[in-house]
Structure 1
Amino acid sequence: MDPQHLRPAGAAERRRGVLFDVDGTLVDSSYLHTLAWWQAFRQQGHDVPMASIHHCVGMGGDRLVDSLLPQGRDRNADAEILASHAALFASSWAVLRPFDGARDLLAQCHFGGLAVALASSARTQDLLATRRALGSDAHIHAATSANDAKASKPAPDILVAALEAVGVQPSDAVYVGDAVWDMQAAAAIGMPAIGLTCGGTTAAELRDAGAAEVYSGPRDLLDNLQSSAIGRLLTASSAGG
């Protein structure tokens, strides 16, 4: 998807919004994904260190596999690895939990007049499971998954799809994520990004990848919301400009 397809809205139609990654940002699932990938690789005879896997979590599954396995491998087994990861992660759906402050953060953005969208590289089924764990559908205007994009993060396709779904321009939005891939995807379309370290990525890594601000998690961001990039959107939205 080309960001140039997002046409400027008229002044009367101008809307502002916040896009959120889900895994590792709103829901404590990054390490569950890491373990599921590790087991899926082992089933196909690949011994990939968990630290390497965790670094790639947040990419789409196809990119993650391609980044971690030798380029000269037999790629016929890739589909089996992806299917195994999906099944293994699904076994963790029942224990998914939102981070402290995640629900309140979504509600505050919603009640402040911002469009709220989830922009995740997850499969549709996994996104539904994390949304059930969040229990915040009343405060979410739209959600996009891997099925809504030709290319996964760090490509910006999923973010563009989410922006289109809520009718918001990149310059009128902020993306919140926990991985370097989130920061890079936002930078590709000129959208400010806020990094959260609760997914296991350091503040230095997030800043190096383009994060404008970094917080420890949803609660920390919520506690500092008015002085954050989201706070500036809230102020502009309430002013009607």
Structure 2
Amino acid sequence: MFKYVIFDVDGTILDTEKAILKSLQKVLKEEGKDYQLEDLRFALGIPGIETLKKLNVTDLERVHPKWSETVLEFSHQVSVFQDLENVIKTLSESPVRTGIVTSKTKQELIDEFEPFGLSSFFEYTICASDTEKHKPHPEPLLACLDGLNANQDETIYIGDSIYDMQCAKSAGVKFALALWGSKTTEGFESVEFVLKEPKAILDLIKI
């Protein structure tokens, strides 16, 4: 059905929710700002800089790198979602071409994603450092389409957040909700596909 499959990373390939939210909570507390984890959930799916701006953090050049370093303290709580590694390897052995569009910076990808050894299975990656505008704006996804020489009709973007869905719709690309990461369909009523488990990805391309 689809010839190009593009993935988000956090909450889609990697289960990073606890690491992201706990590290953010810790850094904010050190900055004199107390938040419950639930109040920080909006941070999932957007660049760290944008999160800190929404939290009215002023010294971004100091606090953002500090947060990136603190995330690594929680790396033991990050894992690849069950069965997803096998699905990614299966895709890489098929005619389907794969890419990544993530809100992580290039350095965050190096520190937080590359240790899992999955980078080589993706042909093209767009991170927050590669575009001026970020999700939910379509620019990152359009840049990945360009890099893969893909057209919208044959492409699906797999993600777990409202920002991912909005990015896909704005780019004219079909969207598949990774339910293992989002844990809810609330707010996603208009999505084309709801994937209950990673293996369902293979049904999209009829492997």
Gap runs ≥5 in structure 2 = none
Tell me how far 1:98 sits from its aligned partner: 0.8
Partner of 2:202: 225
More helix by percentage = 1
Residue 44 of structure 2 is aligned to residue 57 of structure 1? yes
Mapping of residues 32-51 of structure 1, within 5 Å: 32-51=19-38
1:222 counterpart letter in structure 2: K
Tell me how far 1:119 sits from its aligned partner: 0.8
Tell me how far 1:200 sits from its aligned partner: 4.2
Partner of 2:194: 214
Partner of 2:97: 115
Q: Helix, strand or coil for the counterpart of 1:42?
A: helix
Residue 68 of structure 2 is aligned to residue 86 of structure 1? yes
Residue 4 of structure 2 is aligned to residue 24 of structure 1? no
Number of aligned pairs? 206
Contact kept? 2:7, 2:159, Cα under 8 Å? yes
Larger radius of gyration: 1
CA distance in 1, matches of 2:41, 2:150: 31
Tell me how far 1:225 sits from its aligned partner: 2.8
Instruction: State TM-score, norm by structure 1.
Output: 0.77
Tell me how far 1:18 sits from its aligned partner: 0.7
* Cα distance change on mapping 1:224 and 1:79 into 2, 3 Å: closer
- Aligned-pair identity in percent equals 18
Gap runs ≥5 in structure 1 = 1-14, 70-74, 236-241
Stretch deviating more after TM superposition (196-205 or 33-42): 196-205
Contact kept? 2:72, 2:112, Cα under 8 Å? no
Q: Helix, strand or coil for the counterpart of 1:116?
A: strand
1:183-237: CA deviations, max 9, x gaps? Answer: 11111111111111333441223x14x4222224xxx1314632xxx22xx57xx
1:27 counterpart letter in structure 2: L
Q: CA RMSD in A?
A: 2.2
CA distance in 2, matches of 1:140, 1:198: 21
